[in-house]
Amino acid sequence: MAKGDPGGTTRSRRPAPRSKKGAAGNPELVQLLTPDGERIDSATGPDGTEYRVDFTDEEYRGLYRDLVMVRKLDAEATALQRQGELGLWASLLGQEAAQVGSGRALRSQDMAFPTYREHGVLYCRGIDPIMPLGLFRGVDQGGWDPNEFKFNMYTIVIGAQTLHATGYAMGITMDGKIGNDDGEAAIAYFGDGATSQGDVNEAFVWASVFNAPLVFFCQNNQYAISEPLERQTRVPLYQRAAGFGFPGVRVDGNDVLASYAVTRTALDNARHGQGPSLIEAYTYRMGAHTTSDDPTRYRIASEVESWQAKDPITRVKAFLEKQQIADSAFFAEVDEQARRESVHLRERVLNMPNPEPVTMFDHVYPNGSPLLDEQRATFNRYMESFEGSAH
């Protein structure tokens, strides 16, 4: 699906059967596509906001393609780590819909602040998927330009990017870039575990009192490494927003359409001067926390199986088939594209040049620093001390 402005949140062009408040069995959840692939015309959030999407058949197919692509590339990265080609990988498996839905809802002028798991949002921003692999291979620090792609660097320090996003969003207001359709907004991604961090709570306070044009997008994947959600909160996470003075909504994070709709609405509200909001994308981390983790140590197989039935891609495929929006030739072509691009990704990773050790001092500050110059000189002397050193 092309970057730009697909969908919108007005009337559906395809007749859909019903409108309802919340998803079956979970009255709090905004859902527009059930796990069986049934379309829901509109869903109402806790504050009465009505959510809809308006996609063409082409755009529906585009969303499916995005989902398949990011899953396949992610699987390839996991395999590369297992073969010793990456130091670590944080898989997005299971969270594709939350990321593609929200990523495609961003308008070109919006700025995103990711964690270390947002490979799907990165893909939607038009960044070459090879970029995060350099970071996890340890050959660079992430090679994309945040300003060019409006996608900040990955942040490993849990919750820190919510403060960066708040400052950025306050800057948008100070620059007078809100108040109309061309206004700007920022979005901060973080996890359920991050909500326990001081940084995130401080970001909520500052964004609220300064009415910052910011969307807090929490992917509640039920775990912070081995710590389950009940160790983070006694109330549904989206309800935390009320205490800080801005709206919160829980969306089915395995539903790409609903993720798109709530994010688009929240960003548009922000750019029009209506301040921050919190989205809790209710989802599940199907894989390990990272390739260093073994989830069988702390969660049971039946839990994983129950989420398998809510797979974000299966439901879109079922919908496309039922509505005859796509045929088997389309699905085969998407699979083939994903296979080709993952092979290409692998080839490029294997051919990544190892950097000279001294380059670790580059790109730390835009204009360098005397202290770093000193450290670089010491390091060079150290390297030269090795017999036969090329340095």
- Helices 160-174, 198-209: axis angle to 10 degrees equals 10
Residue 117 touches which of ligand TPP, Mg ion, none (CB < 5 to 8 A by kind)? ligand TPP
∠ CA 311-313-315, nearest 5°, is 75
CB 156 within 8 A of CB 184: no
At closest approach, how far in Å is the CB of 157 from ligand TPP?
A: 5
Output the residue with the shortest Cβ distance to ligand TPP: 191
**How many Å apart are CA 71 and CA 76, to the nearest integer?**
9
In the complex with Mg ion, the residue whose CB is nearer, 183 or 191, is: 191
In the complex with ligand TPP, the residue whose CB is nearer, 195 or 269, is: 195
| Beta strand pairing call for 42-44 and 19-20 | parallel
Residue 88 touches which of ligand TPP, Mg ion, none (CB < 5 to 8 A by kind)? none
| Burial class of 245 by CB neighbour count within 10 A (0 to 12, 13 to 18, 19+) | middle
> 351-380: which residues touch Mg ion (CB under 5 A)?
none
**How many Å apart are CA 11 and CA 34, to the nearest integer?**
19
**How many Å apart are CA 368 and CA 117, to the nearest integer?**
29
At closest approach, how far in Å is the CB of 156 from ligand TPP?
A: 5
CB 330 within 8 A of CB 61: yes
Residue 86 touches which of ligand TPP, Mg ion, none (CB < 5 to 8 A by kind)? none
Contacts of 122 (CB under 8 A, 6+ apart): 103, 114, 129, 131, 132, 144, 151
In the complex with ligand TPP, the residue whose CB is nearer, 6 or 287, is: 287
> Which residues in 152-267 belong to E strands, given as ranges?
186-191, 214-220, 223-224, 227-228, 248-252
Residues that bind ligand TPP (CB under 6 A): 117, 156-158, 190-194, 221, 223-225, 285, 289
In the complex with Mg ion, the residue whose CB is nearer, 129 or 191, is: 191
At closest approach, how far in Å is the CB of 194 from Mg ion?
A: 8
CB 132 within 8 A of CB 154: yes
> 217-236: which residues touch Mg ion (CB under 5 A)?
221, 224
Residue 156 touches which of Mg ion, ligand TPP, none (CB < 5 to 8 A by kind)? ligand TPP
| Under rule CB under 5 A, residue 268 binds Mg ion | no
Output the residue with the shortest Cβ distance to Mg ion: 191
Residue 194 touches which of Mg ion, ligand TPP, none (CB < 5 to 8 A by kind)? ligand TPP
Please count the residues of this chain forming the interface with Mg ion, following the rule CB under 5 A.
Answer: 5
| Beta strand pairing call for 277-282 and 248-252 | parallel
At closest approach, how far in Å is the CB of 291 from ligand TPP?
A: 13
At closest approach, how far in Å is the CB of 289 from ligand TPP?
A: 6
In the complex with Mg ion, the residue whose CB is nearer, 221 or 259, is: 221
**Closest to 202 (Cα-Cα) out of 234, 157, 159:** 159
According to DSSP, residue 191 is labeled E
Question: Active-site residues: which are they?
Answer: 285, 289, 298
Residue 315 touches which of ligand TPP, Mg ion, none (CB < 5 to 8 A by kind)? none
**How many Å apart are CA 309 and CA 314, to the nearest integer?**
9
| Beta strand pairing call for 223-224 and 227-228 | antiparallel
For residue 297 the two structure tokens come to: 């140590």
Residue 271 touches which of Mg ion, ligand TPP, none (CB < 5 to 8 A by kind)? none
In the chain, the largest separation of any two C-alpha atoms, in whole Å, equals 76
Site string for Mg ion, 173-212 (x = CB under 5 A): ------------------xxx-------------------
In the complex with ligand TPP, the residue whose CB is nearer, 229 or 383, is: 229
In the complex with Mg ion, the residue whose CB is nearer, 255 or 293, is: 293
At closest approach, how far in Å is the CB of 221 from Mg ion?
A: 4
**Interacting residues toward Mg ion by CB under 5 A:** 191-193, 221, 224
